[in-house]
Homo-oligomer: A and B are copies of this chain.
Amino acid sequence: MASVSLYFIRHGIAAERGTYANDAERPLTDEGRKKTRQVAKRLHELGLRFDLLITSPLVRAEQTAAIFQATAHDTAKYDLPVQVSEFLAPDRNFTDWFDRFQQNLKQQSGDLAVGLIGHEPDLSAWAEILVWGEVRSVLVLKKAGVIGLSLPEQDSPIGNSLLFLLIPPKLLI
């Protein structure tokens, strides 16, 4: 199996809850787009490279993914593939998503950096499951913030991953 770094990226600032009949359609605001672009640009300038982005199908998440993809192209000159996954929509089950994810990993080798774009409180809860084996609600993940985890190569990642990054956008802008 590949040596995997997982980056949990929360979507940027979106239109207020309740302003769209279908919550899934709430887009990023102008400020959300701008800050997300600054975060993506800064991370790429600092040398972070993703092999793959997987995003929630909600508009605010897909827009965040598109910004990261465009920045990878413009700033770092590489093509960053984006997949959409229903499993990253809000309120989905960790196990469903992670079982599928691990199945896909089995076909990979070498170092792999995967960005997952989704929602709170799911992303920080999933990071906690990977690091501590349970949800403790102690990680603060701001919009357009990033959590970085390193998965172990041998053991089960659940409860055995390392947390190497937790950064709010204000420290990247």
Contacts and interface: CB of A to CB of B under 8 A. Distances in A.
A138 interface: yes
Count this chain's copies in the assembly.
2
A21 interface: no
A170 B140 contact: no
Interface in A152-173: 161-168, 170-173
A138 B163 contact: yes
Contacts of A172: 171
A170 B46 contact: yes
B140 A150 contact: yes
A139 interface: yes
Given A132-B138, A138-B132, A140-B150, A165 B161 contact: no
A162 B150 contact: no
B47 A170 contact: yes
A115 to B, nearest CB: 15
